[in-house]
Structure 1
Amino acid sequence: MIIYWIAGNGTYQATTWEHCEKRDLISGLPDALIGHILSFLTTKEAASTSVLSTKWRHLFAFVSNLDLDDSIYVDPLKKVISTRIRGAPILLEEYAPNYISTSFTDFVDRVLALQGDSSIHKFSLKIEDGDNHVDPTRVFDWILNVLQRGGASDLNLYMALEMDPVIPSKIFSTETLVKLKLSGTIIHVEDVYLPKLKTLYLGSVNFLNHGLGLTKLLSGCHMLEDLVLDSLNWFLWKFVSFSNPKCVSFDTPNLVYLEFTDATANNYPKVNFDSLVEAKIDLKASFQGSFSQGFEDYGFMGNATAFVRRICNVKIFYLSSDTLEELTFCCESIPLFINLTHLSIESNPKVGWESLPGLLKNSPNLETLVLQGLVHKSTYRCGDVCLCKPCEDKEKEIPTSLSSSPVKVLKVLKFGEIFDDHDIDEQINQVKHFLQTMPNLEQLVLYYDPSFKENVTKVTTELQKFPRVASRKCEIQLISDDLYLSSRWGSSPSLEEPDWVFSGDFCQLYEE
């Protein structure tokens, strides 16, 4: 076999396979290229190549990405110690942490020493074992070492340290940072200048100056495009009582995607989402009171509609069951979603669909509706979206949201999810109600995960017995891991029954 390659001077070279087996082709590559190859290895593996020769010790300086994780020392060591000291678990608890922390800290020191003053573009440091007693001072020295070299564009710090230290403030004045991810630490914001930062992730962090710290941090990120706030404490805990945030504001006119989970605030004085296209909202009910006062003294707080009406320009909208419930208790009416084409609703057996009729009625251009489950709390305020109205309320005027709905595609996830003996019957009837009521429906997709195989027979039989639909263009698909069932009503009014096509392992079960 003849092998061709391009040498460092740009000329073509050729050799035989037998000759290659006796040569070190890797070492002959340009230093920068070898450093680039080493960047695809784990930091521990890349650093271990420095023992090959004096040249390889020098080559490690070309590695521009460092990913340091204490778990590469923690887990294997615990396994070895528990094997060698099988009968003494106390010794494992006493001596393992110190040995682990010494091994990891020495390893990081050696890695940074091998790097010299070379720039590091991406630096990731994860200290996840809270018992390893890593000295925070050593950790901060590592971070400052990387930042002082210049050129760092991606910084990821996760530090579950025993002392909850405050991270160095120099991080917030690093002009080269493009991506910053901070988790499990305390932040003290003084001067912030991050002119190139585009992505900021804050997870389970605390600010020494509370809400002012976050405001000050964001004010120094003029190019920010992606912001993730994960598990931040908006409210302060007090002894035997808790409260909700009173005011929350957003001034992000260029934001196009928002995923927001929080306790509902009393007021949203400024919410600027002029460019928002897609939103995933999970607003939870908040309470005011104390445990000593008893449940009767609790009151619902917050106004979810005040927030939702500020994002009514979205095209894609995901609502949790908690948010759906919050909208039910709000005094303000549901706004008009003139641009909304895709709506996804999470269902919960403890939450009703009272606010769903208003959402559907105020979405004149809605094309796709996704229901993440059909099981919900029975109530008389669901309008015509379901069949859970008590008999005594049938004579009352019922809002028509489905019968005037423009929805063309209806997807039902978790179809067949069972909480009690009557759930499957109620879900089948609910599907029939959709078919009878929605005049523009072109496709109904049921994603079925049956608890028992015999339910598949029941569902397919019931659906085949039902020829009457509001839209004769509607196609039904029943999809699961073991079954694909598709039906289509013909466009001719004389065709009274649908044509069904089966495929999957359950076909034989049905035929029997």
Structure 2
Amino acid sequence: MENISQFPDDILLKVLSFLPTKVAASTSVLSKRWEFLWMWLPKLDYESSNCSNDYYSTLQSFIIFNLPLHKAPIIESLRVKILTLRVYDIHTWVLIAVSRCVRELRLNVDFFYNDNVVGLPSSLYTCKSLVILELIGCFSVDVPRMACFPSLKTLILVRVWYEDAKSLCQILSNSPVLEDLVVERTQHDDHIKPFTLSVAVPSLQRLTLKISRGISFEGLVINTPSLKSLTFSVKDYKGDEYYVSDSDDDDDSYSYDFEVMPKLEEADIESPHPDINKFVRSITYVKRLSLCICVNAEEALYGEGIVFNQLQHLKLCSCDPNWSILLVRLLNDSPNLRELHVYLKEDHTNSCLDPTVCWEDQLDCVPGCLLTSLETFKWTGISGSQKEIDL
């Protein structure tokens, strides 16, 4: 077999590109030919999760020394996941990546030495080549007035610190081709009070929002006419995990302002205090719907005349005591429903109570979809009286 070292550099780089950066860099000890070959790789991935403190320190020193010397004229992808860094280092790495026309930049840093939150170089916010931007951790999002992301298609912001209430809107309004947006907010970045999350992006196709109920969340505004997938979750948050609260405090309520989403294909909504009547009109085109929401038995769910003509798959969590009221209404308003799944989320079992309204009081007639279109019915985590279960 021909010695691999006899292949030209472009083929060897192709081989190295399939290896983790750590492994690719280790080939530098093979021979003089291989010493700097890995430094031409256009994709770099540095991760130190679940490692010892010594490894954190070694990796940090390795990146600090080698990244400024990296030879690739274009850095297609730079991913850094590390426990802690110096502010100077992350600034240097971002500047290098931007100067090399980076297309994918993913930074995940738990904390910085001597700083609670750290801003990023202003040149990042005018990077014309950037297609994917992911920031996780204690980064301060301070968007300059001249921000522009002409190529940005994916934006992920998790537990970052927004400099002011307009920071996120500035990014979104200057991202004309954005298709994927993920935003997660917890009480750790709760210095903007009150906070209304506004997402108005004509090009957006997929939206994921995870909001901690512990922050001063006042409302949600969504205007995304091209949206195909919506995931929206409002939960309580403690430490590093979400949990379900039994609190019925009205101070936790918030408002919705959703524009119609004519291209919506799937939606997953989990919220303890939704205004159903306001948001349901915007999702009537949905084909796959998953709901875990509170139901007020004393109020109308939503206006008459609303029909989910395209809804084929419905998934409903039974954690609320009045969940069956919502189920019956959706069955009556979904003439083409093919699949129904009633379930109970694992972290919602403590909030599940026996239904307060009997099925007999709700089903005065059989919903049309049960007679014409429904093909699959699945019920997991079943609860209630034996009579209701039998029915």
Look up the SS of the partner of 2:168 in the other structure. Answer: helix
Question: Structure 1 residues 139 and 320 mapped into 2: Cα distance closer, same or farther (>3 Å)?
Answer: closer
Alignment deviations for residues 75-133 of structure 1 (CA, whole Å, 9 cap, x no partner): 2xx4xxxxxxxxxxxxxxxxxx5x555422332244336633643211111112x5xxx
The residue aligned with 2:36 is 58
The residue aligned with 2:165 is 211
Measure the CA separation in 2 of the matches of 1:54 and 1:36.
19
Measure the CA separation in 1 of the matches of 2:178 and 2:136.
18
**Structure with the higher strand share, 1 or 2:** 2
Measure the CA separation in 2 of the matches of 1:195 and 1:416.
40
- Tell me the amino acid that sits aligned with residue 362 of structure 1: I
Q: Are residues 1:141 and 2:92 paired?
A: yes
The residue aligned with 1:69 is 47
Q: Superposition pairs for residues 250-289 of structure 1, below 5 Å?
A: 250-262=199-211, 271-282=222-233
Check conservation: 1:402, 1:437, Cα contact below 8 A. Answer: no
Gaps of 5+ in 2: 237-246
The residue aligned with 1:181 is 134
The residue aligned with 2:16 is 38
Task: Give the TM-score taking structure 2 as reference length.
Answer: 0.74
The residue aligned with 1:327 is 275
- Tell me the amino acid that sits aligned with residue 326 of structure 1: P
Measure the CA separation in 2 of the matches of 1:444 and 1:359.
28
- Tell me the amino acid that sits aligned with residue 144 of structure 1: L
Check conservation: 1:374, 1:412, Cα contact below 8 A. Answer: no
Question: Structure 1 residues 300 and 370 mapped into 2: Cα distance closer, same or farther (>3 Å)?
Answer: same
The residue aligned with 1:438 is 367
Check conservation: 1:337, 1:362, Cα contact below 8 A. Answer: no
Look up the SS of the partner of 1:193 in the other structure. Answer: coil
Q: Are residues 1:345 and 2:345 paired?
A: no
Look up the SS of the partner of 1:161 in the other structure. Answer: strand
Q: Are residues 1:158 and 2:100 paired?
A: no
Check conservation: 1:361, 1:405, Cα contact below 8 A. Answer: no
Question: Structure 1 residues 52 and 206 mapped into 2: Cα distance closer, same or farther (>3 Å)?
Answer: same
Check conservation: 2:68, 2:96, Cα contact below 8 A. Answer: no
Correspondence for 1:302 among 239, 254, 262: 254
Measure the CA separation in 2 of the matches of 1:404 and 1:109.
60
CA RMSD after TM alignment: 4.5
Gaps of 5+ in 1: 1-19, 79-96, 286-294, 387-399, 452-457, 464-512
Measure the CA separation in 2 of the matches of 1:406 and 1:340.
13
The alignment of Structure 1 onto Structure 2 pairs a total of residues equal to 366
Measure the CA separation in 1 of the matches of 2:305 and 2:19.
55
Check conservation: 1:279, 1:314, Cα contact below 8 A. Answer: no
Q: Are residues 1:115 and 2:67 paired?
A: no
Q: Tell which deviates more after alignment, 154-163 or 34-43.
A: 154-163
The residue aligned with 2:306 is 362
- Tell me the amino acid that sits aligned with residue 185 of structure 2: S
Check conservation: 1:402, 1:438, Cα contact below 8 A. Answer: yes
Check conservation: 1:36, 1:62, Cα contact below 8 A. Answer: no
- Tell me the amino acid that sits aligned with residue 67 of structure 2: L
Q: Tell which deviates more after alignment, 439-448 or 192-201.
A: 439-448
**Structure with the higher helix share, 1 or 2:** 1
- Tell me the amino acid that sits aligned with residue 187 of structure 1: V
Alignment deviations for residues 263-294 of structure 1 (CA, whole Å, 9 cap, x no partner): 696667x7533333443334579xxxxxxxxx
Check conservation: 1:336, 1:362, Cα contact below 8 A. Answer: no
Measure the CA separation in 2 of the matches of 1:373 and 1:180.
33
Identity %: 21
Structure 1 position 375, deviation (Å): 4.8
- Tell me the amino acid that sits aligned with residue 182 of structure 1: L
Measure the CA separation in 2 of the matches of 1:203 and 1:274.
24
Q: Which one has the largest radius of gyration?
A: 1
Question: Structure 1 residues 345 and 353 mapped into 2: Cα distance closer, same or farther (>3 Å)?
Answer: farther
Look up the SS of the partner of 1:55 in the other structure. Answer: coil
Check conservation: 2:169, 2:198, Cα contact below 8 A. Answer: no
Correspondence for 2:123 among 170, 174, 180: 170
